Structure 1
């Protein structure tokens, strides 16, 4: 056997496919019989499906209720469940109800979702369980409701049924004034509500709590970000670990500038084409750029500079002070040698 053939044979012997798809019969058994199941309908040739693979594999190592279906070989099954784009993540509650999974496509987020799904929408709490419950999920809501405020209790339970896929809801009785608190444990933020006169007070509390200090920019939410009236700080990276590291690194800076700037990460496996309009050379990641949608200005971060909280914070201040000229749009900052070499 030739050397190249030997190498190919060795590689083939040690390569194991991460996806472990099930056939149609096993799928129907998995979603029946009162079983919980989070299902990924994927098409192996698509970049988004490939991007999900590593996170899905990590999650399945500790949670067996996650299953996947290859829509390339089970097209009719995927059409039956309304799958029109890939990957499509759907939760089956074992009683015939199917719900789209709208959370982050990260192993930790999907595992947290499964734990929430196994509980009732609202967990009745006692004092000794309060602290443990409060720290048990990325986003936790705890309502301390006076028995006289039955209308608030009813509204709270209705809200919990709408948001149970993203937050954990707890409830306890109090003889004091009714108060609802939402804990964003990812960003170490707490939001508290005691005035319930506004009809949208509770939903606004939840939405504010869910808003991350540094979000993930996608086609689905781009208009929300672009219409926020604030400039955007984009960070492009192909690795979820890299993007998570950036969030940890820049969280304090994002909090400092949150009144004026929105910080977002971009998965270049899915949205790498967004880099070029922001003055960045395609394929050269990680990279950072600032966009002012109101004035149509773009400020690519100099490639030769490290991305640190101190340096990025200084770059943002230089933009505010007019020390950085916006990109002229003729070529990427990388190709032109960066217009900010002097910074």
Structure 2
């Protein structure tokens, strides 16, 4: 990746299309910092309408260092009052746009009416809402601190009370259409753990960083191997209803074949495959590949899972042939996935 840093103007971040950067001069950069516009320092090609500042030029390096731009890639939002917000999410236009919207609005909204409560539940991908007991000021203080800590990732709302006897914290994961209510709002880490639970995607992408979390829960993992973001998103749309249905027993994940190509043969899939579906039971070591080259659909996935749980499909790694495919019928089914 080219070691450059760029200036992004907020209005351009919201545009679509990917092309080349349009570098601006140091004078234009300084003028931008002194203007009313919100601006970002970044180093990823995301939009042809985004102006940029190239920190790789020798004449620009001292200036970039004065702005604390010392490593790449990096994206920062500079405010006129000297505040600085660092963006640490994926280099995607939608996520950057959401970051900007959160950064220039309050850390927390007030929703004193049912109409505003309904409005705010759909304001962001993840919305965390406190319905406080009128006298529970300590919880309110903790919620405000949480909102300030995570303001660039999620939206926080102080809403009308649910009842006169108890407080409640509810979150809305609008990407997966899932709602949670916190069970523990009294312990030191209860609220923070709840935020992480709510923000957890129903169908996450398995990475080197998070794989241990999913392989150590005791649940089986249904891997969907894909090579493009479009394929992964299409799969999430198709599999989301099943991920909700089987959430108690099974993790649905996407797995990038470019990062995990070595897993394909061990899961009974062709080594040169670009797509594939396989069920893994980390407790027993059993794996069940969907060997036939089919277009994935909700019905195909559910039939595959039913074949496993009923015992109609043997574990691929325990078949004597070692070639995978549909195993011979067996008399006893599997109690769990």
TM-score normalized by the length of structure 1: 0.73
Deviation, 1:193, is 3.2
1:248-290: per-residue Cα shift (whole Å, max 9, x none)?
Answer: 1111111111111111113445555554443333442222122
8 Å CA contact 1:101, 1:165 repeated in 2: no
Q: Report the Cα distance in structure 1 between the residues aligned to 2:264 and 2:28, rounded to whole angstroms.
A: 39
Q: Report the Cα distance in structure 1 between the residues aligned to 2:204 and 2:39, rounded to whole angstroms.
A: 27
1:166 is matched with 153
Q: Aligned match of 1:296 in 285, 291, 312?
A: 285
CA RMSD of aligned residues (A): 3.6
2:141 is matched with 154
Structure 1 residues 36 and 73 mapped into 2: Cα distance closer, same or farther (>3 Å)?
Answer: same
Q: Aligned match of 2:214 in 214, 225, 239?
A: 225
For residues 80-159 of structure 1, what are the structure 2 equivalents within 5 Å? 81-83=69-71, 88-94=73-79, 95-102=82-89, 104-127=90-113, 128-159=115-146
Q: Does residue 198 of structure 2 align to residue 213 of structure 1?
A: no
Q: Does residue 234 of structure 2 align to residue 234 of structure 1?
A: no
1:92-130: per-residue Cα shift (whole Å, max 9, x none)?
Answer: 24234242423x554333322221111121112232422
8 Å CA contact 1:41, 1:83 repeated in 2: no
TM-score normalized by the length of structure 2: 0.75
1:149-199: per-residue Cα shift (whole Å, max 9, x none)?
Answer: 111011001111222222111113547332221011111111123763333
Q: Aligned match of 1:181 in 166, 170, 179?
A: 170
Structure 1 residues 131 and 93 mapped into 2: Cα distance closer, same or farther (>3 Å)?
Answer: farther
Give the number of the structure whose residues are more often helix, by fraction: 1
Deviation, 1:219, is 2.2
Q: Report the Cα distance in structure 2 between the residues aligned to 1:300 and 1:70, rounded to whole angstroms.
A: 48
Gapped regions of structure 2 (runs ≥ 5):
1-16, 330-337
Q: Does residue 248 of structure 2 align to residue 259 of structure 1?
A: yes
Q: How many residues align?
A: 301
